[in-house]
Amino acid sequence: MLKITTFNLLLRIITLGSKFLLMLGITKFLTPSHVGIYGMITTTIGLAIYIVGMDFYVFNTREMLSSEAQNSAVLIKDQFIVHFITYCITLPLLLVIFVINVLPWEYAVIFYLLLIMEHISQEFNRIFITLSKPVVANVTLFFRSGAWAYVTIVMLYMNPTNQTLWTVLLAWAIGVAISILLSLYYLKDLEWYSTSKTKVNWKWIRRGLNVAFPLFIANIAVKLTEFLDRYIISFHYNKALVGVYTFYGSLANLLVIFANTGIIMILSPKVVKSYQEGNYKSYKIHMKKMTLGVISSTVAISLALIVGIFVVIDLINKPLYSGYLSAYWLLIVAYGFSVLSLLPHYSLYVRFRDKDIIKSSFIALSVAVLMNLTLVPRYGLVGGSLSTATGFLTLLICKLVYAYKISRA
């Protein structure tokens, strides 16, 4: 058990380190404009994944963890039927981001390739977590997010001809493809033979969509709260400033990545399962562990980000990046609020208080939209980061209020 825990921790640390080093390498070797385009690609894929996924996994996770769970292979098959349908509907609609020049047309093919593979890999990762296979989840996540990044860093450093955005994007595509192949290998032992004998359960799918859709809307609202600033900055300013903002945002986002991969993905299935089984003592124990882990990691990573940025700025040695540190401090605060909001979120989620989650998300988005439209044109990057921080603070407060109310009921 200790060896497995140590291995999981080591993989998570290596994967997290790749995020930081890749962003450092991209910022040093690519122009700020190309960093900006990379930021818009990653941001748009991050949003589009929610659109194509419709958050159906939220429903299926509850189904697979329930005491009356069916054959997991059948549930997984029906889930991917849903995803195939959403691909057919949403992928053509996403062409609008190229039509209105959010992204250049030359990146259209690689964008769609990355989007589809990232979504499939993410869904597999969630399935492994639900099936209580954290080692497999971390191994596939390492190839999806870590291994290719280290290779890319070496390529950028060793050969000036590789110092292009296409090097990064192609390496990313290869890494995600490997993670999908590994996932398929690790899923081979499920009872897939039974899926050929089982018809698609359209009634179950309709029920799942009815449950997942409201939470999908809520999550889109949260993601827009997080990413709206970049689109507003892109509209009012140039891609170079978007690149600076992407750089700072990627560093601050390490708070969320560490909390999710190091704590939430391990403890959340136990939190959900213990509550569904009526084992409230176990639920409280796991919630306490999650709370302590999230708070301690947020404090520790925040301090590291605050101290480490000065070393990073010296390594990059590009004056444009050092001129907007005030926006960086605010982004650390913003993502800190985002991480902390996950704690009351799970308290609401296990109790099926989806309406409270949705209301919280839309209140936060409304605040973020108003702040962005008001502050970004006047204060630039600082206005964007302050808007995001205010939006996530609103989200945290709303979810805490709703969670407190149900605890007192």
d(CA 183, CA 275): 29
Question: pLDDT tens, 76-127?
Answer: 888 999 999 999 999 999 999 999 888 899 999 999 999 999 999 999 988 8
Average pLDDT over residues 258-280: 80
What average pLDDT does the chain have?
A: 87
Share of the chain above pLDDT 90, in %: 38
Average pLDDT over residues 178-204: 85
pLDDT of residue 69: 53
Alpha-carbon Rg of the chain, whole angstroms?
21
Of 14-18, 45-49, 366-370, highest mean pLDDT = 366-370
Question: pLDDT tens, 376-395?
Answer: 999 999 999 999 999 999 99
Average pLDDT over residues 319-325: 83
Which is more confident, 115 or 258? 115
pLDDT of residue 263: 81
Q: How many domains does the chain have?
A: 1
Burial class (CB in 10 A: 0-12, 13-18, 19+), 265: buried
Give the confidence band of 8 by pLDDT, cuts at 50, 70, 90: low
Which is more confident, 10 or 226? 226
Domain range for residue 31?
2-408
Question: pLDDT tens, 152-168?
Answer: 999 988 888 888 999 99
In this predicted structure, the answer to whether residue 23 has a pLDDT above a threshold of 90 is no
pLDDT of residue 375: 95
pLDDT of residue 4: 54
Query: Looking at 248-262, 303-317, 329-343, which range is the least confident one?
Result: 248-262
Give the confidence band of 315 by pLDDT, cuts at 50, 70, 90: confident
